[in-house]
Amino acid sequence: MPTAVYAGTPVTVTEEGFYLDPDQWREDMAPEIARDAGIDVLTDRHWQVIMHMRKEFAGKGTGPTVRALGRTSGVSIKELYLLFPKGPAKLAARIAGIPKPRGCI
Amino acid sequence: MPTRAARSRGEVPTSGVRERDFRLSASRGVGPTLGIVTNRIVVLGGGTGGTLAANRLRRDLGDEVVITVVDQDDDHLYQPGLLFVPFGLSRPQDLVRSRPAQLHDGIAYRTADIERVDLGAEQVLLSDGVTLAYDVLVVATGARLLPEETEGLTGPGARETVHTFYDLDGATALEGALSRFTGGRLVVNVVDMPIKCPVAPLEFCFLADWYFTERGIREQVELIYVTPLDAAFTKPVAARTLSGLLAEKHVELVTEFNTGEVDGTGGRLVGYDGREVPFDLAVVVPLHGGAAYVDRSPGLGDEFGFVPTDKHTLQSTAAPNVFVIGDAAAIPTSKAGSVTHFEGETIARNVVRFLAGEALDASFDGHTNCFIESGFGKAMLIDFNYDTEPLPGHYPSGVGLPLLSPSRLNHLGKLMFAWFYWHSLLPGRDVPGLTAAMPTAGKHMPVPTRS
């Protein structure tokens, strides 16, 4: 598995850049991951979603889908797309240092 | 915990009656033979899961329990038939039968809306004011279509340029719309997962290709499949096969499209990311959620109204005496009738064990089995579970039906399934070849890699 370095610390990620071990993540890594993904500044709204992703992962073992985020994060789906363009669930999961959301079957 | 020592006395109905207004709020009682404790099982939902669970429990427990099934109407719909209605291959009136008529003698049936479940008091409140107390609750109220949650989906253009085939009225209206369609862009869109029968929208594309070919206007019709997934299907091997089939039939595939708006008047799907897909006729599978009463029942459901459930025992995480079967369950398997059938064995065994105070059986493996109509009188078959994705080979063994490959035999299997549904599956019998545990004998299983 590839290794990425964020905030001076090497972490194990997938080919798509998702953390394999969420415990390797620290808050000071998030701005660097976000910059890699084209988000220059993480606002309070970004952080609200990021921390929600980590809480959901800790409780359920998988990150939420966009639809679930729209219901539970306090941020509407439209705003999620503004904050995390293209794919909010995947992008927010990457920045939050959790594995790729499994989605539904 | 599961054993219940203190049993208050009350009155219970005699067996062999239907639609009778039992003394439903009576507390758990003494059975027909004085001194025998009778447990009360309330089954919410008289569809596939509720019917087969109630019938299995009646067979396994007899007069040891009083079983009451509740549903809001008397129309049991054979949902796999909906796919065929728009193409004139099924008649709507042939898909609906009486709900209580599918239940074994001795099971009570009650027509009522469910107001809410009170987990603490162990009772169900119905909208007509009646309270049903339970010792075991089986949640089998399936999934509900939520078209109103997508902007524009119920607005101008609905039933004109925008249709669905996921309910009987929609499928019937779509038959008219398809017959009037003489050319242009037909877009099939899944708004978001989870949905019932996740292969059905793909089957719709394949059948549409056949239908317009038969009508001699295939050249004038553009077919486009628009999905929120990053491929045609969730599982890699099947996704490759299904993508290949879409390409072969000249169906354009648009992936990772999250529909934010359906503009029926302007004829376009608008994605949250700003992308647009124009259409002349749209067939949209709306968002799904659990039954409305789940949202009104504190502690029962998740944010979508599905009920968090142990994926192997089918016991809910909300309360130990609540079990869940079928589409209502929030477990990582397809919302499909075959899954519900396979769950039947586990849920019946575990309700019996729970009432006896025994440990539950963690045997449900996520087994799913789907025929996929591929048009021109052929169908594919996929078979998988929690751990094994759909693979090529044969089902259930080396000389069975071909897997992941279109064949006439599979199409016949799909047609025959309707008979098995009414006569074997709903009565809670085992269906030949459809065993609860996923068979591996005929599958081309990957060779384990050495670590």
Q: What is the 3-state secondary structure (H, E, C) of B51-62?
A: HHHHHHHHHHHH
Phi, psi dihedral angles at A56 (to 5 degrees):
-65, -40
| pLDDT for B24 | 41
Burial class (CB in 10 A: 0-12, 13-18, 19+), B169: exposed
Q: Looking at CA atoms only, how far is residue A25 from chain B in angstroms?
A: 26
**Residues B398-408: what's their mean pLDDT?**
88
Q: How would you label B252-269 residue by residue, b for 16+ Cβ within 10 Å and e otherwise?
A: ebeebbbbbbbbbeebbb
Q: Are B451 and B357 in contact (CB under 8 A)?
A: no
Instruction: Provide, for chain B, the percentages of residues in helix, strand and coil under a 3-state DSSP scheme, each rounded to the nearest 5.
Output: 25, 30, 45
Is the residue at A79 inside a domain?
Answer: yes
Interatomic CA distance for residues B163 and B341, integer angstroms: 29
Total structural domains within chain A: 1
| pLDDT for B442 | 85
Q: Residue B196: closest CA among chain A residues belongs to which residue?
A: A105
Window B:220-239, CB contacts with A under 8 Å: 229, 234-235
Interatomic CA distance for residues B257 and B183, integer angstroms: 24
| Subunit contact A105:B256, Cβ cutoff 8 A | no
CATH 3.50.50.60, domain B29-142+291-355, yes or no: yes
Is the residue at A61 inside a domain?
Answer: yes
Q: Are B201 and B82 in contact (CB under 8 A)?
A: no
Mean pLDDT is lowest, of A58-62, B159-163, B255-259, B274-278, for A58-62
Q: Where are the domains of chain B?
A: 29-142+291-355, 147-287, 368-451
The residue with tokens 């994705």 is B389
pLDDT score of B31 more than 80: no
Q: Which of B199, B258, B387 to mutate to test the interface with A (most CBs of A within 10 A)?
A: B258
Interatomic CA distance for residues B364 and A13, integer angstroms: 32
Residue B236: its H or E element:
helix B236-248
Question: What ipTM does the predicted assembly reach?
Answer: 0.85
Q: Which of B196, B255, B272 to mutate to test the interface with A (most CBs of A within 10 A)?
A: B272
**Residues B125-150: what's their mean pLDDT?**
97
Of B194, B273, B304, the CB nearest to A86: B273
| pLDDT for B152 | 97
Neighbours of A69 (CB within 10 A): 26
Active site residues of A: 104
In this prediction, residue B237 has a pLDDT band, given cuts at 50, 70 and 90, of: confident
**Residues B357-370: what's their mean pLDDT?**
95
Sort out which chain A residues have CB atoms less than 8 A from B229's CB and list them.
103
Mean pLDDT of chain A: 92
| Subunit contact A67:B287, Cβ cutoff 8 A | yes
In this prediction, residue B432 has a pLDDT band, given cuts at 50, 70 and 90, of: confident
| pLDDT for B36 | 59
**Residues A44-57: what's their mean pLDDT?**
96
Is B147-287 the same fold as B29-142+291-355? yes
Higher pLDDT among residues B400 and B296, named by residue:
B296
Query: What percent of chain B stands above pLDDT 90?
Result: 78
Which residues touch B182 (CB under 8 Å, ≥6 apart)?
B217, B220
Q: Which range is most confident: B8-22, B30-44, B238-252, B432-446?
A: B238-252
Of B192, B198, B273, the CB nearest to A105: B198
| pLDDT for B16 | 36
pLDDT score of B303 more than 50: yes
Interatomic CA distance for residues B65 and B15, integer angstroms: 10
Of A72, A78, A102, the CB nearest to B272: A78
| pLDDT for A103 | 64
| pLDDT for B203 | 96
| pLDDT for B448 | 56
Give the SS3 label for residue B250: coil
Is the residue at A25 inside a domain?
Answer: yes
In this prediction, residue B1 has a pLDDT band, given cuts at 50, 70 and 90, of: very low
| pLDDT for B21 | 38
Q: Looking at CA atoms only, how far is residue B42 from chain A in angstroms?
A: 29
Query: What percent of chain B stands above pLDDT 70?
Result: 91
**Residues B124-140: what's their mean pLDDT?**
97
Q: Are A31 and A70 in contact (CB under 8 A)?
A: no
In this prediction, residue B43 has a pLDDT band, given cuts at 50, 70 and 90, of: very high
**Residues B126-134: what's their mean pLDDT?**
97
pLDDT score of B416 more than 50: yes
Interatomic CA distance for residues B373 and B174, integer angstroms: 18
Q: Looking at CA atoms only, how far is residue A104 from chain B in angstroms?
A: 6
- Maximal C-alpha separation, chain A: 38
**Residues B390-406: what's their mean pLDDT?**
88
Give the SS3 label for residue B91: coil
For A55, the domain range is: 3-95
Topology adopted by domain B147-287: FAD/NAD(P)-binding domain (3.50.50)
| Subunit contact A67:B229, Cβ cutoff 8 A | no
Mean pLDDT is lowest, of A88-102, B124-138, B203-217, for A88-102
pLDDT score of B449 more than 90: no
Q: Which amino acid is at A49?
A: V
Is the residue at A102 inside a domain?
Answer: no
| pLDDT for B450 | 46
Mean pLDDT is lowest, of B93-97, B297-301, B384-388, for B384-388
Of B198, B256, B273, the CB nearest to A85: B273
User: Interface of chain A against chain B, CB under 8 Å?
Assistant: 65-68, 71-72, 77-78, 80-81, 85-87, 102-105
Which residues touch B238 (CB under 8 Å, ≥6 apart)?
B382, B384, B389, B390, B404
Q: Are B131 and B24 in contact (CB under 8 A)?
A: yes
Interatomic CA distance for residues B50 and B28, integer angstroms: 21
Instruction: Provide, for chain A, the percentages of residues in helix, strand and coil under a 3-state DSSP scheme, each rounded to the nearest 5.
Output: 50, 10, 40
Is the residue at A19 inside a domain?
Answer: yes
In this prediction, residue B433 has a pLDDT band, given cuts at 50, 70 and 90, of: confident
Q: Looking at CA atoms only, how far is residue B402 from chain A in angstroms?
A: 23
Sort out which chain A residues have CB atoms less than 8 A from B198's CB and list them.
105
Mean pLDDT of chain B: 90
Tokens representing B83?
Answer: 């796919």
| pLDDT for B414 | 87
Q: Which of A67, A82, A102 to mutate to test the interface with B (most CBs of B within 10 A)?
A: A67
Of B235, B260, B334, the CB nearest to A78: B260
| pLDDT for B365 | 95
Interatomic CA distance for residues B320 and B315, integer angstroms: 7
E strand segments, B340-406: 368-375, 378-384, 393-395, 401-403
Residue B424 is classified by DSSP as I
Q: Looking at CA atoms only, how far is residue B228 from chain A in angstroms?
A: 10
